[in-house]
Structure 1
Amino acid sequence: MNRTARLYALVEELRAAAPRPRTVAALATRFEVSTRTMQRDLQTLMETGVPVRSLPGRGGGWSIDPEATLPPIHLTPDEASALTAALAAADTSTPYADAARTAAQKIVASMAGPASAAARQLAAQIVSLPAHGDSAIRTAVEQALADDLVLRLSYTDAAGHESNRVVEPAGLLTAGGRWYLIAWCRTRRAGRGFRVDRIAAAAPTGERARLRDLSELLVGSAGADAVPPAALAALTPPS
Structure 2
Amino acid sequence: MNRTDRLYALVEELRAVSPRPRSARWLAGRFEVSTRTIERDIAALQAGGVPIWAEPGRTGGYVVDRAHTLPPVNLTAGEAVAMAVALHRLGGTPFAGAGATALRKLLAVLPAADAAEAHRLAGRVHLIGAGPATPVPASVADAVAAGRVLRLRYADRAGAPSVREVEPLAHLGNPTHWYLVAWCRLRDGLRCFRTDRILAVEPLPEVVRRELRVEELDIPRARIRPLSLV
Query: What range describes the TM-score normalised by the shorter chain of this pair?
Result: 0.3 to 0.5
**TM-score under structure 2 length normalisation:** 0.44
Mark the structure with the bigger radius of gyration: 1
TM-score (norm 1): 0.42
- Greater relative contact order, per chain length (Cα 8 Å cut-off, separation 6+): 2
